[in-house]
Chain A
Amino acid sequence: NAGVMQNPRHLVRRRGQEARLRCSPMKGHSHVYWYRQLPEEGLKFMVYLQKENIIDESGMPKERFSAEFPKEGPSILRIQQVVRGDSAAYFCASSPRGSPDTQYFGPGTRLTVL
């Protein structure tokens, strides 16, 4: 049973470009969480999704950031018009149905904005 997959592992974008980060949850997991880790800081919750539904997006910046988890395919975190302050590691976690307190983390995507 493969773990949580994230790709790409490293992403470099220039200011103003779009960044798309993908997360494939563990098989059988229908809950996905996105977190951001700034250098030398802890993880900050961004958004919690189930298939085709955003459950809690209280940690998402109001502009430029969006997330989806379609019926088929991976969850996508999209950052439009990236700025240098978006440079961070973005981690995805998944959990089984009904067990949001047990999350399995992916290896993360490290975004660098030039």
Chain B
Amino acid sequence: GNSVTQMEGPVTLSEEAFLTINCTYTATGYPSLFWYVQYPGEGLQLLLKATKADDKGSNKGFEATYRKETTSFHLEKGSVQVSDSAVYFCALTTNNDMRFGAGTRLTVKP
């Protein structure tokens, strides 16, 4: 079945550091891939998405490229801020439901 595996956290970085959160997937067919962010006490917000191979999703300085050959969708940001502290979820969908990774908690320190 479809599944998503993402890097375990927590991840702690200093402000302005480079961020990578790894995500790999297993899916039948051609999934759409997503990154969601969850701030404390809130629901998930869509951060970015890519719907086909080699697409790059980007938003708020974050980006991820849909790599079919490595079945990956790693999240990157060149310079993180304290306000980026949150839990990040990688997800995929092929049909009616969405499969999420376990989430990676990011803490950015000043």
Contact = CB atoms under 8 A, between A and B. Distances in A.
Interface of A: 4, 6, 33, 35, 41-45, 48, 55-56, 58-59, 91, 93, 100-108
Interface in B28-76: 32, 36, 42-46, 49, 51
B97 A59 contact: yes
B22 interface: no
B43 A91 contact: yes
A42 B43 contact: no
A58 B97 contact: yes
Given A91-B44, A105-B43, A43 B89 contact: yes
Nearest to A3: B43
Contact of B43 (A33, A55, A106): A106
Contacts, number: 52
Contacts of A42: 89, 100-103
Q: How many B residues touch the partner, as a band?
A: 20 to 34
A2 to B, nearest CB: 14
B77 interface: no
Contacts of A108: 42-43
B20 interface: no
Contacts of A45: 97-100
Given A105-B45, A108-B43, A33 B97 contact: yes
